[in-house]
Structure 1
Amino acid sequence: MSVGGPAGRDRGAASIFVLAVGLVLVAAGVAGAAVGAARVGRHLARTAADLGALAGAVRAIEGRDAACARAAQLVAANGGRTRSCRLDGLDLILEVEVTVTPFPGLTRYATAVARAGPITAPVG
């Protein structure tokens, strides 16, 4: 066989193809990990907001400061940060933020809002 013939032109093509397929698989894995990290962050934010709102609502009768302080304690214990906290009557409305790091050097924030208060039954 001659080097300039048809077989000579294809030398190394399989290596390039295998590298390209490997790169696509690595990129898909990295993208999947980033999506997974975002979903976990969203769930953590929801959990922290729900638990914080429930804990704060128990103290709503004592006023905004007591309710929000208790809510902030549980939010921090769940790895979150309180963005806002307010009372609407006896309902506590809490907004929470959780830091998500899908890749080293890339920081994003997942937020969630929760509301908790006394149960109200319709009259009649």
Structure 2
Amino acid sequence: MITIDTVQNIADILVIGTGWTGSIIVDHFVRQGLKVHVLEMGADKLYSPGSFLNGWVERAEMREEQGHYVTRNNWHNAVLYDDLVTIENKQPHWRFNYNMKRGYGGSGAVWSGRCWRMLPDDFITASR
């Protein structure tokens, strides 16, 4: 069992997760000469660059009021990813599958710093 005393004896800094933020923090402190350890939720998974493209299927469902914008994505081949989560919602068009991506690199290994395109509705003031 890892305790705070154990961690204090083996590392100057303990970083939780190797996603974008965790990796930047690790780099920062290693460059300062500190001993850094990382605690990762995922198993010892190392994904090769582009490996997610083999199982990724992006299905764009067009909503007429939004024009030609992607409104949902699906992980078509869930067999390749053991950490698939379905996000449920009362409104069916907001229901989607999401891959938590547990392992080295976090979700940054999947998304590579990209995000969904903003929809026209995103720019409308919500409070009236």
Superposition TM-score tier, normalisation by shorter sequence: under 0.3
Please report the TM-score for the alignment, with normalisation by the length of structure 2.
0.26
